[in-house]
Amino acid sequence: MKTFAEINERLKAGRAVVLTAEEVVPLVREKGPRAVAEEVDVVTTATFGPMCSSGVFINFGHSDPPIKMSKVWLNDVPAYAGVAAVDAYLGATELSESRGMEYGGANVIEDLVAGKQVKLRAVSHGTDCYPRREIETMVDLSHLNQVYLFNPRNAYQNYPVAVNSSNKMLYTYMGTLLPHLGNANYSSAGELSPLLNDPYYRTIGIGTRIFLSGATGYVAWEGTQHNPSQNRTENGIPVSGAGTLALIGNLKEMNSRYLRAALFDRYGITMYVGVGIPIPMLDEEMARSVGAGNDEIFTTVVDYSVPRRSRPALGQVSYAQLRSGAIELNGRRIPTGSLSSLSRAREIAGTLKTWLSEGRFLLQEPVQTLPLHTRQNPLQDGEDRA
């Protein structure tokens, strides 16, 4: 048994053994989880993929005379201003009112991180203490006050594979799906993915310090749609979308290499977010969890041609099969494609490994664990309630 404090002391002294999740898999198979738990102190995990549920809170500062912003646009992209006088939340998927899908909230966020100026426009009904009714100016990250990334749902734990059995092309948040099972899209770093390495959330919880888009960030809460009550394999890993994380970090410290806007054809704007999370090797059980390789991690294939809340499940495949370039389904070979970047995830895991090894990044024990038994309630319309 080890503690967070003991591992942090080793990190500070430069004596800690830190490996990436990919590096530890063959080691667990060679030496066994008990030996790895004794020899290794921290395992770094990472992912870099599309995470639509992302955005930023911004404080613009007060103008003279002051204004109580009731509606706000940044480069013609609406932001939600029902927070306070000069605060707003800009969602990554919000679209430009003039350019549509060509430009959205994620593009504004990427532009800010890249040091570019963006046009701020705001209107107000005017009050005695906030008499100004309109303002238009240019802002950049250096002139804004607090600007922090707050993402309600990131780092999905094992999202399903998407296929299309219909006879028409589908344009989805899982990319373009070819008809007649022409392709299979997935979005995960597999054995490198954070929550797949801590399936029961023993070390990842509220307060966990993480790598977030090039900066230090934190787990703020369970993510929206956090749904851990999924079927799991013998190694504890769920076979479909389960846990999620709400993440927070200072946008002013981030790097646009790890925070990128993207357009999904005929669907909309999303944001690629780089997330890296260290897993402390507390005991043999943790070593066993991080030792699960792509051939031991399975996910579910789902048919997106059925436009319903519950889509048909067509089977399960391993990430080793997905990474091979094709899967077998109903007796036919289907080419696979990843929406997330494995190379960028490896880069993030390696960077976090360096930070930890040099003592520049320490572990933070969660102040509260994530729930393990919650379920998601469906939205019922009038007919459902009748």
- Catalytic residue list: 129
Helix (H, G, I), strand (E, B) or coil at 78: strand
- Rg value, the chain, Cα: 22
Helix (H, G, I), strand (E, B) or coil at 311: coil
**Cβ pair 267, 173 in contact under 8 A:** yes
195 CB-contact burial (10 Å; exposed 0-12 / middle 13-18 / buried 19+): buried
How far, in Å, CA of 12 to CA of 83, rounded? Answer: 41
How far, in Å, CA of 206 to CA of 148, rounded? Answer: 17
Report the interhelical angle of 21-31 vs 342-357 (nearest 10°): 80
How far, in Å, CA of 263 to CA of 256, rounded? Answer: 16
329 — phi, psi (to 5°)? -145, 125
Please state, as a whole number, how many other Cβ atoms lie within 10 Å of the Cβ of residue 214.
19
Task: Name the one residue in this structure whose structure tokens are 């507390």.
Answer: 282
**Which of 311, 287, 157 has its CA nearest to residue 229?**
157
**Cβ pair 339, 49 in contact under 8 A:** yes
How many alpha carbons lie under 13 Å from residue 222 in its C-beta half-sphere?
18
Alpha carbon 13 to its chain centroid, in Å, reads 32
Residues whose CB falls within 8 Å of the CB of residue 275, separated by 6 or more in sequence, listed in order: 46, 47, 48, 154, 155, 194, 210, 211, 212, 213, 245, 247, 348
DSSP 8-class letter at 266: T
| Two structure tokens written together for 242 | 């389960």
**Cβ pair 190, 175 in contact under 8 A:** no
For Cα atoms 105, 110, 114, give the angle at the middle one, nearest 5 degrees: 150
Task: Please spell the DSSP secondary structure of 309-371, one letter per residue.
Answer: SSPPEEEEEEHHHHHTTEEEETTEEEEEEESS-HHHHHHHHHHHHHHHHTTSS-----SEEPP
